[in-house]
Amino acid sequence: MSKTWIVTFETYLRQIKSWSFLFMVLGPFLMIALTIGISYISANSSSSSHQVAVISDSAVLRKSYLQQHPSGINTKITTTTKAKKAVKANHLAGYLTLDASGTQLRGDYHGSTAMDSGLKAKVQNFLMQYQQLKNYQTAKLTPKQQQALAQTPVLKQHIAAKTGTSNLVKTLSFWVLITMIYIILITYSTIAAQEIASDKGTKIMEIIFSSTTATSYFIGKITGILLVIVTQIVIYICGGWLGYTIAMQNSGIKKLVLANQTLVKGIFHNLFNLNLLYVLLGVIIYTILAAYSGALVAKAEDASKAAQPVIMLSMAGFFIALPFQNNLDAVLVKILSYVPFFSSYFMPMRIINGTAGLGEQISSLVILLVAIGLFALYIGRQYQRLMLQTDSENIWQHLIHSRRRS
């Protein structure tokens, strides 16, 4: 057992010390940082050209508008002359003049383009409110009369159940889960095949097999690769949590997250339950298959080609699952949720939507575990012969020859 762990940690350390692992881990963070940086620079460079200036002879009127609608306003420009120059230089989207000299309040917008609907609604609401107050003062109404005239109708919505949020949670959970499985399998299928193929036909393998069993060596290799996968996932989780903590310092993002707290909790609940075990077991069985493919090639350079059937099988599971996300009662979905290599896609989909009972989930899990055990045992018995052979076979040729030998 100690020799198995030696192989495990040797494989693990060699993989995480490689430049490819470093780029693979840092790649998503760099892309996110680059996207945020470009968006921030772009937003800051164009923010002034999207602002509007508010100009009025009445300081009280201008101050009242700025207090109600402070966003998107250039408060430094206070005269029409400066506003015209700023608009001409494309430093300002336009300017709004407010006039309260007569009995009727007046607002005039000047700009190169029409007011957007949001700004127009804000200006209209402000003018109506201020005009109403001005009318009350002109009519010399008492506070009680003003209160009676200010009454507005009430409209309330009574929602029986949060079906909309629930459906959105299921849809997002489905996409996050199968995309995560798909990306991990596509990435590590080739890595697993190359890791096994790199030892193919070398003299060192004869020495290794004289000191330990082929099954122990194979299990050590697979475990090392799985630890690399777990390390990458843990780094992403920690990085995501750190990014979330930093993002929550922004009042706008914090308000958005709190408003959709039910959605966020629902997605986390669907990910961190039995579905996570299906993801792990799915990665294990595909990694074993990829390692098996790598052991079949004669040269290490052919490892990427050997991994193609594994990648194609993973792609088949991914693309077959997509059309059935809204048709979970289909017979094919129920069948494939028990088939190894496909159950990691289809059973989590049924669990998320609540169409699979506990008995069905356990049965599918047991079948997947048994398949992994038998598959690993079969390859372990064949591993020494495969690693020492010099001819190249594909999976089907090897299976046919194995049946003939037996």
With respect to residue 152, please indicate whether it lies within any of the assigned structural domains. Answer: no
Q: How far apart are CA 156 and CA 282, in angstroms?
A: 48
341 and 201 within one domain: yes
The confidence score (pLDDT) of residue 42 equals 66
The verdict on residue 12 lying in a domain is no
Q: Which of 369, 394, 203, 359 is nearest to 284 (CA)?
A: 369
Query: Residues 6 or more apart from 362 whose CB is under 8 A from it?
Result: none
DSSP 8-class letter at 322: G
Whether residue 227 is found in the same domain as residue 285: yes
Q: Specify whether 347 is located in the same domain as 252.
A: yes
Is the residue at 43 inside a domain? no
User: Do 375 and 246 share a structural domain?
Assistant: yes
State residue 156's pLDDT score: 74
Q: What is the pTM of this model?
A: 0.67
Q: What are phi and psi of 98, to 5 degrees?
A: -115, 130
> Same domain for 86 and 231?
no
Q: What is the pLDDT of residue 387?
A: 76
Residue 6 lies in a domain: no
Say yes or no: 299 and 241 in one domain.
yes
Whether residue 174 is found in the same domain as residue 104? no
Q: DSSP string of 96-121?
A: EEEE-SSSS-EEEEEESSPPPHHHHH
The CATH number given to whatever domain includes residue 103 is: 3.40.190
Produce one character per residue of 386-402: b if its CB has 16 or more CB atoms within 10 Å, e if not.
bbeeeeebeeeebeeee
Instruction: Write the burial class of residue 197 (CB in 10 Å: 0-12 exposed, 13-18 middle, 19+ buried).
Output: buried
Cα-flanking dihedrals φ and ψ of residue 106, to 5°? -130, 140
Per-10-residue mean pLDDT for the chain, 406 residues long?
A: 81 87 83 79 61 86 86 85 85 86 84 82 86 79 76 69 66 84 84 80 72 82 88 85 81 75 80 84 89 78 78 88 82 91 90 87 92 87 74 54 52
CA–CA separation, 270 and 173 (whole Å): 6
> Which of 127, 142, 157 finishes a domain?
142
Q: What span, in angstroms and rounded, lies between the C-alpha atoms of 246 and 162?
A: 30
Spell out the residues 6+ positions from residue 290 whose beta carbon is closer than 8 angstroms to its own: 188, 189, 190, 192, 193, 307, 310
Domain boundary among 142, 157, 180: 142
Residue 70: inside a domain: yes
131: containing domain = 48-142
Which of helix, strand or coil describes residue 198? coil
pLDDT given for residue 406 in this prediction: 47
| Number of domains the chain is built from | 2
Would 135 be classed as within a structural domain?
A: yes
Residue 138 makes CB contacts below 8 A (sequence gap 6+) with 103
Judge if 109 and 232 occupy the same domain. no
- Give residue 94's pLDDT: 87
pLDDT of residue 364: 93
Same-domain check for residues 393 and 262:
yes
